[in-house]
Amino acid sequence: MYLMYVDESGDSGMTNSPSRYFCLSGVVVHELRWKDTLADLLSFRHWLKSTYSVYLDDELHAADMINKPSRVAPSLQRLKKHERLAIVRHFADQIARLSNVRLLNVVVDKQGGVPSAEEVFRRAWYTLFQRFENTIRNQNFPGPKNTDDRGIIFPDQTDGGKLSRYLNEMRMRNPLKVRQPHGAFYYKDEPIKVIIEDPMLRDSRGSFFIQVADCVAFLLKQSIQPCSYMRRHGGSAYFRRLDPVLCRYASYKNPSGIVRL
């Protein structure tokens, strides 16, 4: 069984939105590697406690740490901004050392002709579900290679009703655009088979894995639309630090495997 923890950065809104992009990041780990990966994250959090006095139950929410520090835990509020940026950098380096993890990333450009906020949200999640499905079926994630592996999804708090509906639709009918050898396209119906259950929402405050997804999604967005502070201090390049654990099978068009819509 593969577990995918998902968070977003930016927003799907089309009117008065400060963000041109809506980003989704999925952190994928096999169930048999979950405990070892959690131990690695716990070790990192103990290091943060000894180095920066950040408690284990203090949530690492990357965007708030940089842009809205009043929302973060008191232990993080006490730190200077450059120290919070350093924690984000250290967190990215720790994620890159999680050898049993792979990262799926989807970006929707809202200026690319998407008609509505609903469609931005739907396209991003449909694409993430499809890449998760394909990568499991092709056995391209690290971990045990079982021909009957399945997947389950743990998003941060979002519209769970929509996500369940999307998955159910894809299980019933899922037309895919396929390129033929001579370049023409055709559609085939290939319903989702290996993703089971409805998405199970998690609160990021109680999940180190969702906090990993939050950091990845934040750095993904900063790599394409950085805020002024991240641009000035080199944070816009931090996504590159995740290079060892990016799932390049998700998109052969992008060297980092990012699916751009």
CA gap 32, 36 in Å, rounded: 8
| pTM score, whole prediction | 0.95
| Total domains present in the chain | 1
Q: What's the domain range around 203? A: 2-260
Q: Which residue has the higher pLDDT, 237 or 188?
A: 237
Tokens of 138: 């092709």
pLDDT band for position 115 (50/70/90)?
confident
pLDDT band for position 98 (50/70/90)?
very high
- Tell me which amino acid residue 50 is: S
* CATH code of the domain covering residue 26: 3.30.420.10
Tokens of 250: 């998700």
CA distances from 84 to 40, 57, 167, 203, 205 (A): 21, 16, 37, 22, 17
For 151, the 3-state DSSP assignment is: strand
Tokens of 84: 């919070």
Phi, psi of 69 (to 5 degrees): -60, -20
pLDDT 10s digits, 129-186: 999 999 999 999 998 888 899 999 999 988 889 999 999 999 999 988 777 677 677 7
What pLDDT, on a 0 to 100 scale, did the predictor assign at position 228?
95
Q: In terms of DSSP bridges, do strands 259-260 and 101-109 run parallel, antiparallel, or are they unpaired?
A: parallel
CB–CB of 56/46 below 8 Å? Answer: yes
Q: What is the DSSP string of 134-150?
A: HHHHTT-SSS---TT--
